[in-house]
Copies of this chain bind each other. A is one copy, B any other.
Amino acid sequence: MIDKRFASAREAVADIFDGATVMIGGFGEAGSPIELIHALIDQGAKGLTVVSNNTGTGLVGLAALLRAERVSKIICSFPKTAGSTVFPDLYRAGKIQLELVPQGTLAERIRAGGAGIVAFYTPTAVGTPLAQGKESRVFGDREHVLEHGIRADFTLIKGRTADTHGNVLYHRTARNFAPMMATAATVTIVQAAQVVDAGALDAEVIVTPGIFVDRVVHVPAPALESALNEAGASYP
**A binding-site residues for B, Cβ under 8 Å:** 108, 112, 115-123, 139-140, 142, 144, 148, 169-170, 172, 203-205
Contacts and interface: CB of A to CB of B under 8 A. Distances in A.
Contact of A117 (B122, B170, B203): B122
- The winner among A121, A123, A139 for most chain B CB atoms within 10 A is A121
Contact of A172 (B119, B142, B169, B204): B204
A53 to B, nearest CB: 18
Contacts of A115: 108
Nearest to A202: B205
Contacts of A144: 118-119
Contacts of A169: 204
A176 B123 CA distance: 28
Contact of A119 (B121, B148, B203): B121
B120 A120 contact: yes
